[in-house]
Chains A and B, each alone.
Chain A
Amino acid sequence: MTRRLVHVGIAFLVIYGLLFFRLEMVQIFGARNLREHPQNTLEITLDFDAPRGAIRTADGETIAQTVAVKGARNRLRQYPYGSLYSHVVGFISAEHGGAGIERSHNDFLAGNDLSVRIQDNRDLFVDQARTGQLELSIRHDVQLVTRAAMAGHLGAAVVLEPASGSVWGMWSTPNFDPNHLSSHDLRAAATDFSALDSDGAQPLTNRVEYHSVEIGSLFTILTAAAAIESNLHDISVPATTSFPASQSSPAITNRDSNACGGTIESLMVNVCRSGWAAIGQEIGREPMQDISDRFGLVGGDPLRTGNALRGDRNQTELSPSAAHAAVGTAMELTPLQVAHLFATIANNGSRIQPRLVEQVRAHDGSVIHDFEPNVLNQSISKETAAKLLGLLSENVKTGSAQGLALSAVPVAGMSASRFSGSNHLWMVALAPVTRPEVVVAVLLEGDGSDDQDTAEATVAAITRRITEAVLRLPSSNLGGS
Chain B
Amino acid sequence: MNNQRVVELTLLLLAAFITLATVAVAAVAADVRVEWSAIPYLAALLLLWGVSHLSLRKWAPTANGLLFPIAALLQGLGVAFVLRIDPDLLLRHLVWSLFATVGFIAVLAGLRDLSQLRKLQTPLGLIGLVCISIPVILKISRGEVDSYPSFQFGSVAIEPSHMGILCLVIFFGAWLANYRSRNTAEYLGEADRLDGDPSRFIPLIGAWLIISVVVIFQNNMSSAFVLAAIFLSMWWVAVGRPIDLAFFAAAVVGSVLLTIDSVPEFQSRFDAWVDPWSNSQFSEAISRSSFALAQGGLTGTGPGEGSADWVPGATDQFAFVPIAEELGFMGGTAVLSSYLLLAGVGLRLATAARKEFESLLAVGIAIFFASQAWAAIAVPLRFLPPSDLSLPFVASNGSALFTCTIALALLLRVSETVPIIPDRTQILPRIAFKSRGTA
Tell me the A residues contacting B by CB distance below 8 Å: 1-9, 11-13, 15-16, 18-20, 22-24, 26-28, 30-35, 37, 39-40, 42-43, 45-46, 50, 127
**A193 shortest CB reach to chain B, Å:** 12
For window 316-367 of B, CB contacts with A under 8 Å fall at 324, 328-329, 332-333, 336, 339-340, 343-344, 347, 350-351, 356, 359, 363, 367
A-side binding surface: helix, strand, loop or mixed?
Answer: helix
Pick from A9, A31, A37, A50: contact of B297, CB below 8 A: A31
Is B247 close to A, CB under 8 A? no
26 residue pairs bridging A and B, Cβ less than 8 Å apart: A1-B237, A1-B238, A1-B356, A1-B439, A2-B432, A2-B435, A3-B436, A4-B237, A4-B240, A5-B350, A5-B363, A7-B236, A22-B383, A23-B329, A26-B293, A27-B293, A27-B297, A28-B297, A28-B329, A35-B294, A40-B291, A42-B292, A42-B310, A43-B295, A45-B310, A46-B310
Is B417 close to A, CB under 8 A? no
Pick from B277, B332, B333, B374: contact of A15, CB below 8 A: B374
- Residues on the A chain within 8 Å of B243, using CB: none
Say whether, besides A1-B237, A19-B377, A27-B293, A9 and B298 are in contact (CB < 8 Å).
no
Closest Cβ neighbor of A12 among chain B residues: B370
Is B378 close to A, CB under 8 A? yes
Question: Is B439 in contact with A16, judged by CB distance below 8 angstroms?
Answer: no
Is B190 close to A, CB under 8 A? no
Closest Cβ neighbor of B180 among chain A residues: A1
**B360 shortest CB reach to chain A, Å:** 9
Question: Is A23 in contact with B333, judged by CB distance below 8 angstroms?
Answer: yes
> Complex formed: what's the CA distance from A20 to B296 in Å?
15
Closest Cβ neighbor of B234 among chain A residues: A8
Closest Cβ neighbor of A16 among chain B residues: B340
- Residues on the B chain within 8 Å of A24, using CB: 329
> Complex formed: what's the CA distance from A127 to B30 in Å?
9
**B380 shortest CB reach to chain A, Å:** 8
Question: Is A8 in contact with B291, judged by CB distance below 8 angstroms?
Answer: no
Question: Is A13 in contact with B383, judged by CB distance below 8 angstroms?
Answer: no
**A460 shortest CB reach to chain B, Å:** 42
- Residues on the A chain within 8 Å of B435, using CB: 2
Is B113 close to A, CB under 8 A? no
Number of A-B contacts (CB under 8 A): 123
Question: Is A6 in contact with B432, judged by CB distance below 8 angstroms?
Answer: yes
Counting chain B residues whose Cβ lies within 8 A of the other chain, the interface size class is 35 or more
Say whether, besides A18-B383, A34-B291, A35-B294, A23 and B344 are in contact (CB < 8 Å).
no
Say whether, besides A27-B296, A42-B291, A16 and B383 are in contact (CB < 8 Å).
no
Question: Is A42 in contact with B295, judged by CB distance below 8 angstroms?
Answer: yes
**A190 shortest CB reach to chain B, Å:** 13
Is B381 close to A, CB under 8 A? yes
Pick from A4, A11, A19, A39: contact of B336, CB below 8 A: A19
Say whether, besides A9-B429, A12-B367, A27 and B294 are in contact (CB < 8 Å).
yes
> Complex formed: what's the CA distance from A26 to B287 in Å?
11
Question: Is B336 in contact with A31, judged by CB distance below 8 angstroms?
Answer: no
> Complex formed: what's the CA distance from A34 to B382 in Å?
14
> Complex formed: what's the CA distance from A42 to B289 in Å?
10
Q: Which 5 A-B pairs have the closest CB atoms?
A: A34-B294, A31-B294, A2-B439, A27-B329, A9-B429
Is B101 close to A, CB under 8 A? no
- Residues on the B chain within 8 Å of A3, using CB: 432, 436, 439
> Complex formed: what's the CA distance from A171 to B414 in Å?
74
- Residues on the A chain within 8 Å of B343, using CB: 9, 12
Is B255 close to A, CB under 8 A? no
Closest Cβ neighbor of A25 among chain B residues: B381
**B291 shortest CB reach to chain A, Å:** 4
For window 19-46 of B, CB contacts with A under 8 Å fall at 30-31
Question: Is B436 in contact with A8, judged by CB distance below 8 angstroms?
Answer: no
Is B183 close to A, CB under 8 A? no
B370-413: contact bitstring with A at CB < 8 Å (1 yes, 0 no)? 10001001100111000000000000000000000000000000
> Complex formed: what's the CA distance from A4 to B250 in Å?
21
B264-307: contact bitstring with A at CB < 8 Å (1 yes, 0 no)? 00000000000001000000000110111111111000000001
- Residues on the A chain within 8 Å of B237, using CB: 1, 4-5, 8
- Residues on the A chain within 8 Å of B328, using CB: 27
Question: Is B439 in contact with A9, judged by CB distance below 8 angstroms?
Answer: no
> Complex formed: what's the CA distance from A7 to B238 in Å?
12
Is B4 close to A, CB under 8 A? no
Question: Is A34 in contact with B290, judged by CB distance below 8 angstroms?
Answer: yes
Question: Is A8 in contact with B233, judged by CB distance below 8 angstroms?
Answer: yes
Is B186 close to A, CB under 8 A? yes
> Complex formed: what's the CA distance from A3 to B437 in Å?
9
